[in-house]
Amino acid sequence: MKFAIYSGMGGVAALLLSTAVVHAAGELNALVWCDHTDPELLEPFETAHDVRVNVKEYEGTAAGLAILNQSRPGDWDVMVIDTVDVGRAVDEGLLAPLPSDELPTSEFFPEVVMPDNNSRDGVTYAVTEKFGYNTIAFNSSKVDAADMQDMSSLWSGKYDGRIAIYDYYLPVLGLIGIEQGVATADLDSDAVEALRERTYALKAAALQVSDVVASQTALATGEVDILIGGGEWVTAVLSAENPELDWSVPSQGALRWSQSIAVLEGSESKDLAVEFVKYITGAEGQARLATSSCYWGMPANKAAGEALSDAQKGALRWDEQADYLARTQLYPVPDADLDLAMQDLWTDMLQQ
């Protein structure tokens, strides 16, 4: 007897959803990441279209797909999703085609348009809205910035006990692979297994393995001086109060994260949903999304630069994007078995 794993997860999701989704006229329901819940981001669109945007946060594509599977068609209009996972949602028939000629992708950083991920057979199903890096964040007043240009310095012993590891196996194992010369696209079960000792050694040098909030707290309070897996999404939002917090893309490279926005096939307000996508990917929406109170990140649309201050662009390393985009790789996209193998290694590492 087989049943989709999502049906199990759906028990929890259904409880959460039972009171959450009430679709009314003049409302848009958006399944989003935390950066889209900022009232300053939503308010201009709500005012311009005399509509209320109801947002629900989720983390991880699996959780987002589980919520959709437990919802009625039409409950949700818009979804934010990892760009590398857009194909999964297309495979499940969840996304509606977007009018590509109405989207401002010609103004985007070319590397983040990512048609291979956002389109299928020439049809655009999602559009990149924000990107950034999982790399090394550090306190520049306590760490030699030159060391942060070489990832191997993290294993040198010099920073033992002063390191936090971001508790997300995909980017961190991807980073360790890059440090070992393995491209994220080449990570298979053998390559992952070969990273075991290096991963354990990193854990031995680290003080803690922590989620976003705990990592930010540890870095901001001086508990640790280095965060592996961090980047502008950790330090930029703290830049005003903690200007010494910095980040680097080391010589070996780093990981690039990218999020897309899409309209759901079941939406009964597709026109309004498309307008929302156009607002989010337009210059004003992009600037607000880039500096959202939850986390900052680079806007996909270069035109947002006109709406950002020099200080904000400095925190995002606006002028260095060409170099960073050239030297960074996308997240690993493991199949189910490789995903479990990576998680097994991660659990073993935590228990070391």
> Interface residues with other proteins (CB under 8 A)?
1-5, 8-9, 60, 62, 161, 167, 169, 207-210, 214, 217, 221-223, 336-337, 340, 343, 347-348, 350-351
Residues, the chain: 352
- Report the residue number, 24 or 336, with the smaller CB distance to other proteins: 336
Nearer to other proteins, 65 or 126 (CB): 65
User: Is the Cβ–Cβ distance between 114 and 328 less than 8 Å?
Assistant: no
Per-residue tokens: 249: 């893309």
DSSP 102: G
Least separation in angstroms between residue 330's CB and other proteins is: 20
Q: How many CA atoms lie within 13 A of 93 on its CB side?
A: 3
Please give the single-letter amino acid code of residue 149. Q
User: Smaller CB distance to other proteins: residue 8 or 99?
Assistant: 8
Of 115, 91, 90, residue with least CA distance to 103:
115
CB nearer other proteins, residue 170 or residue 249: 170
Helix (H) or strand (E) holding 56: strand 52-57
Measured from the CB of residue 297, what is the shortest distance to other proteins in angstroms?
A: 23
DSSP for 8-44, written as a single string: HHHHHHHHHHTTT----TTEEEEEE-GGGG-HHHHHH
Distance in Å, CB of 218 to other proteins, minimum: 8
Closer to other proteins at the Cβ: 58 or 76? 58
In the complex, what is the shortest distance from the CB of residue 305 to other proteins, in angstroms, rounded to a whole number? 36
Question: What string of DSSP letters covers 152-199?
Answer: GGGGSSTTTTSEEEES-HHHHHHHHHHHTT--GGG--HHHHHHTHHHH
- Helix 39-49 vs helix 283-290: angle between axes, to the nearest 10 degrees? 160
Contact status, residue 20 vs residue 56, Cβ threshold 8 Å? yes
CB of 336 to other proteins, least distance (A): 4
Return the residue matching tokens 């020099």: 310
Minimum CB–partner distance for residue 275 and other proteins (Å): 34
- Is the CB of 319 or the CB of 335 nearer to other proteins? 335
**Is 11 or 73 the residue whose CB approaches other proteins more closely?**
11
User: Residue 169 or 279: which CB sits closer to other proteins?
Assistant: 169
Please state the closest distance from residue 230 (CB atom) to other proteins, in A.
Answer: 16
* Of 28 and 65, CB closest to other proteins: 65
Q: What is the DSSP string of 255-293?
A: EEEEEEEEEBTT-S-HHHHHHHHHHHHSHHHHHHHHT-S
For residue 190, the minimal CB distance to other proteins (Å) is: 19
Give min distance, CB of 326 to other proteins, in A: 32
Compute and round to an integer the Cα radius of gyration of the chain. Answer: 20
